[in-house]
Amino acid sequence: MSTQKKTVVCGAGGFIGGHLIADLRRQGHTQLRAVDVKPLNEWFQKFDDVENVVLDLQEKEACEKALEGCSLVYNLAADMGGMGFIEANKALCMLTVLINTHLLLAAKKHGVERFFYSSSACVYAAGKQVDPNLTALKEEDAYPAMAEDGYGWEKLFSERMCRHFTEDFGITTRVARYHNVYGPEGTYDGGREKAPAAICRKVIQAKLSGKHEIEIWGDGHQTRSFQYIDDCVIGTQKITHSENVTMPINLGSSEMVTINQLVDIAEEIAGLKLKRSHNLKAPKGVNGRNSDNTLILKLLGWEPSISLKSGLEKTYRWIYDDITAKA
Q: List residues with catalytic annotation.
A: 151
Q: What are the helix (H) ranges across the chain?
A: 15-26, 60-67, 83-88, 90-95, 97-110, 151-169, 195-209, 229-241, 259-270, 294-300, 308-326
- State whether residue 288 is helix, strand or coil: strand
3-state helix, strand and coil shares in percent for the chain, rounded to the nearest 5: 45, 15, 40
Distance separating alpha carbons of residues 41 and 176, to the nearest angstrom: 29
Q: Give ∠ CA 46-197-181 in degrees, rounded to 5.
A: 70
For residue 146, what are the contacts with CB-CB under 8 A and spacing of at least 6?
125, 126, 127
Closest to 194 in 3D by CA, of 81, 45, 77 = 81
Enumerate the β-bridge partners of residue 228. 182
Contacts of 298 (CB under 8 A, 6+ apart): none
Beta bridge partners of 217: 279
Task: Using DSSP bridges, classify how beta strands 181-182 and 223-225 pair: parallel, antiparallel or unpaired.
Answer: unpaired
d(CA 117, CA 240): 9
